[in-house]
Amino acid sequence: MCNKSYSIFPSFSSLHQKFTPCFHLSDIFSDCFSFNLANKEEKDKDKICAQELDDMALCISFSPNIALIVTDTSIKNDIATSILHIHQANHPLIKTVHHTAFITSSEAELFAIRCGINQACNKEDVSKIFVITNSIHAVKNIFNSSSYLYQSHSMAILSELQQFFNKSQDNSIKFWECPSHLKWRLHKDVNKDSESFNLTPSFPCKTSWDYYRKLDCNDIIKQWRMTFQALNGKEKQFLDLLDNNFNIIKLAYTKDGP
């Protein structure tokens, strides 16, 4: 399955009900999620980390109730490719590819994890989910109650996990850190897939920050004009400003400033 889109992700509301303390998964389901971080203090940390990942993969390969999600992203020519592989015993490997323009690697990684969790949670026989990622710092922000840039993805993931945990007290999810330089076999496969895509946009002129900024600004200005047009106090509290040719000055913006 391949979904392609070129857009800017919507903003979020910091006052959304899902961000209130009573909805924090860290308070309600603290025993249902955990993190397995690479120990950077160990002398042979890379070898130990790789061995732990191998042992984990071998252990869950015999359990049909566990879904293993491996994610990776790459960015070329301002286009991010998010790849996720879902492994489950006695089931065929599931590969999902998403493309989007002008987002950071952290946002692309969160989006891939969001899609993987959504697919895994919708499988009736899955009770445990393991997520392998090289962006564990981005993943930990999912459970961060403070406001930050990618909280729209966090809200979607938390909502999905809340439903998953509510199904059974035995349901759980664990996030495993897998540094890219380890070249661990399952993550290496995902990385290879993500870097193999070399998309050529159909409209190169529309793949720039300036283009999207222009669209957003034009929409804002249009909304302002419509709002001002409907004001009852128009022509009573405001004066029309004219240029040298006696044309009405309209709202506008400049590329580098107001």
**In the chain, what are the domain boundaries?**
2-200, 208-258
Mean pLDDT of the chain: 77
Interacting residues of 66 by C-beta distance below 8 A, sequence separation 6+: 60, 88, 89, 126, 127, 128, 129, 130
Across 34-38, 200-204, 237-241, the highest mean pLDDT is recorded for 34-38
Place of tokens 């070129």: 6
Q: Mean pLDDT across the stretch 218-244?
A: 65
CA-wise closest residue to 82 among 95, 64, 66, 68? 95
Query: What's this model's pTM, rounded to 2 decimal places?
Result: 0.67
For residue 79, which of 4, 15, 14 has the smallest C-alpha distance?
4
Q: According to the model, what pLDDT value does residue 250 have?
A: 65
Picking from 164, 220, 203, the residue whose alpha carbon sits closest to that of residue 11 is 220
| Confidence category of residue 248, pLDDT binned at 50, 70, 90 | low
Evaluate if residue 60 carries a pLDDT over 80.
yes
DSSP output for 204-254: GGGSSHHHHHHHHHHHHHHHHHHHHHT-TTTTTS----B-TTSPBP-----
Q: What is the pLDDT of residue 22?
A: 47
Specify the 3-state DSSP secondary structure of 137.
helix
Q: Where are the alpha helices (DSSP H) in 29-141?
A: 45-60, 105-121, 136-140
∠ at Cα 123 (186, 132), nearest 5°?
25
Q: Does domain 2-200 have CATH number 3.30.420.10?
A: yes
**Tens-place pLDDT, residues 65-96:** 999 999 998 888 778 888 999 999 988 999 99
